[in-house]
Structure 1
């Protein structure tokens, strides 16, 4: 069984060169929150299902956080109405 990677209190928990993204999926709009764990996250709203707008938001957040174009993106959202195709598209 694998043991989880857990940082003990007082240890360095710097996120590194990663972008974190949270979705709130609505019927008409999706709200995105994007950040690197070091700066305050940016927030934006895109039309539901607009994959191009999501990619643009990711590119803008990477630039704002001084991350490279190849920096991994970790996302979370409630898999409901749009969650399953969105997961397949993001993966």
Structure 2
């Protein structure tokens, strides 16, 4: 996850027209594009889980996590802050 976050950070700092990540981060819809992708991937993940298709669950889970990370970046929230929050919830 840290390596993927580093790529997201790099694409945000140095957008490339060929990069899917850059396209989502700089889309004219702003944060709405990231949120649309989360909704789409979440639905596909739910369907995969309901169907019990382990390969699709992994694929859609990866897509969902990736687009979640893009939305975090677009929101100005770091992945580390999410990890810190999860850690603070351990009892």
TM range (shorter): under 0.3
Question: More strand per residue: 1 or 2?
Answer: 1
